[in-house]
Amino acid sequence: MKKLAGFFAGALLVAAISACSQQAADEVAVTAPAETAEAFVARANAELKALGREAIAANWVRATYITEDTAIIAASAREKYAKWHGGMVQQALAYDDQELAPATRRAIDLLKLGTSLPTPNDAAKRKELAQIATDLSGMYGAGKYCRNDGDCLSGSELEVLMQSSKDYAALEEYWSGWRTIAPPMREKYQRYVELANEGAGELGYGDLGEMWRAGFDMSPAEFQDEAARLWEQVKPLYEELHCAVRAKLGEHYGEDKVPEGGPIPAHLLGNMWAQEWGNIYDIMEPYPGESDLDVDTTLKNKDYSPQEMVRLAESFYVSLGMDRLPDTFWTRSQFTKPQDREVVCHASAWGLDGGNDLRIKMCINQSYEDLRVIYHELGHNYYQGAYKDQPPLFQDSAHSGFTEAVGDTVTLSMTPGYLKEIGLVSSAKISNKAIINRQMRMALDKIAFLPFGKLIDEWRWGVFSGDIKPEDYNKAWWDMRLKYQGLAPPNERSEADFDPGSKFHIPANVSYTRYFLARILQFQFQRSLCATAGHEGLLASCSIYGSKEAGKKFFDMMASGQSEPWQDALEKLTGTREMDATAIIDYFAPLMTYLKEQNAGRSCGW
């Protein structure tokens, strides 16, 4: 996904926050050393700081130069880290029954959770899993849909076509074509699940999904309930949006293709995965001409380069009192797709060398959509830079949703007033109709995304636990997409397909719950920061651009990294200790009223 692509690619693509030399790995993969817990943590931090460059550099090269050689390098780095991590975790178990200082206990607990891909304590299986993970990521990155005439289209090219076309048959071709890359992944993915579950079991977890859910300063069961609670808070708004969108699509394509009362065909929503629907805004615009948000035209007419687009985003963070990005950011980042090699175009932010070497990896187009992605990705970079002085075991966000929410919060401040101030739109008119237009545009992305953000990991939790059997992978996928999103595939799917594999985060092994939580947290963050900035009036009209007071509050929260429970970090920024979706409801109150009026008399639901 390019919209919410933000994640720490170096750490999360491979779950490798460091890698030690083979000799060091052999030395630590033994019985618990005779040292205090404090000394153990200090040693772990020293090794992470000294040796972390190898793994993340290997995976940067793999993502920006997809070749057989870089696959070998990346797989080797994965294997080294896995062996080191497994040995350190075995040593860490010796401190489980000791009374420790809170910071020491937290560091040891985080060390145990320091991989999203735990490997079995068996050299052959560890090597096998590292190779499978590398293969799956590479298969996605190099995937192409080739037509009968020999014309082949990459994933990013197909995404662009999906964004602009309104031809039913062509959209179905692009949608189905991209999914031809996934069936070859299926057997590898099944084996990956077996090996990763074995690794999680050796760390004391029932399965990999349980281990992932353990990283939220609450029990896995409590977290699963928390995610369900948050979804129930926002579900009514999504259902109203779904009803209105289906009706408009029925008018556009015909009710024979989009029948009232049924699910929406998944290929008609302007996005390869129907996760965000902003590209059908032209169909959904409530009041044509009431707002001037044609940023795409401005970017093209003024011929903004990718670097100039990134400079715009950097200037926003600088206006909050944060530093400019280091010079190396501009020389080492990937801003465009090279013509001479295969790369992963999926947008991501990287904090190499403990956050001292910040980079983004994108294939930037002149579009408002990509501009928002840039603002989002720099949120990761500024977060990475903010906590770089923390010990390595604390160099992460308060929880995974926080890092996504930072950049998302900033995009909420890309209001008409802000866009006019920086010269990207000609008018900042804020009539009631213009407010509804803007909220519709935003809801088609931010609200439409919520059920998708929840179901990706819920599907994986079922796969990891065994509740979803390998012979039901695709059926369960579409059952969940129907249940949560009210969507159906445009053509018959079977277990010969492996549609989950067409979504980057599945083969790349990146947990997705962070994006769901980020959609909740960003509105909490924004409401608090706008109050700090002294904003009055509608929350939807607030931009914190230029507020040093809001910037300081933001930065102070980020600087704590993962050194404290997320509840403490949340309280520091918002004054509350519970994630709460009421800010979303408040933000979109004008749109909710409009949607209910439009849906009166319609048969909603699916």
Q: Would you call 153 helix, strand, or coil by DSSP?
A: strand
The question of whether 515 is a catalytic residue gets the answer: yes
Q: Catalytic residue, from 274, 347, 386, 540: name it.
A: 347
Cβ-based neighbours of 74, under 8 Å, separated by 6 or more: 14, 58, 59, 61, 62, 134
Residue 44 · residue 393 · CB < 8 Å: yes
Q: Catalytic residue, from 159, 342, 404, 458: name it.
A: 404
**CA distances (Å), 565 to each of 225, 263, 396, 470, in order?**
18, 40, 12, 36
Angle between helical axes of 566-574 and 548-559 (0-180°, round to 10): 170
Q: Catalytic residue, from 85, 242, 346, 399: name it.
A: 346
How far, in whole angstroms, is CA 332 from its chain's centroid?
A: 22
Helix and strand numbers (H, E) in the chain are 25, 6
Q: d(Cα 213, Cα 217) in Å, to the nearest integer? A: 9
Torsion of CA 433, 438, 440, 442, to 10 degrees: -170
469's tokens:
């059997």
Q: Catalytic residue, from 242, 267, 376, 535: name it.
A: 376
- CA angle in degrees (0–180, nearest 5) for 101-107-109: 100
Cα R_g (the chain), whole angstroms:
23
Torsion of CA 392, 398, 404, 409, to 10 degrees: -120
Strands (E), 175-308: 264-265
The question of whether 535 is a catalytic residue gets the answer: no
Q: Catalytic residue, from 85, 242, 267, 380: name it.
A: 380
Q: d(Cα 454, Cα 512) in Å, to the nearest integer? A: 8
Burial 463-488 (b: 16+ CB within 10 A, else e): bbeeebeeeebbebbbebbbebbbbb
Closest to 127 (Cα-Cα) out of 81, 88, 90: 81
Closest to 133 (Cα-Cα) out of 83, 181, 86, 196: 196
Q: Catalytic residue, from 515, 545, 587, 594: name it.
A: 515
Closest to 269 (Cα-Cα) out of 280, 254, 283: 280
498's tokens:
């492996």
The question of whether 85 is a catalytic residue gets the answer: no
Q: Catalytic residue, from 85, 267, 399, 505: name it.
A: 505
Q: Catalytic residue, from 377, 387, 458, 533: name it.
A: 377
Q: d(Cα 141, Cα 463) in Å, to the nearest integer? A: 23
Query: What backbone phi and psi angles, to 5 degrees, belong to 264?
Result: -85, 135
Q: d(Cα 204, Cα 57) in Å, to the nearest integer? A: 30
Q: Computed from CA positions of residues 452, 453, 454, 459, in that sequence, does the dihedral angle turn out positive or negative? A: positive
136's tokens:
């799956």
Q: d(Cα 232, Cα 115) in Å, to the nearest integer? A: 30
End-to-end CA distance of the chain: 26
| Catalytically annotated residues | 346-347, 376-377, 380, 404, 505, 515
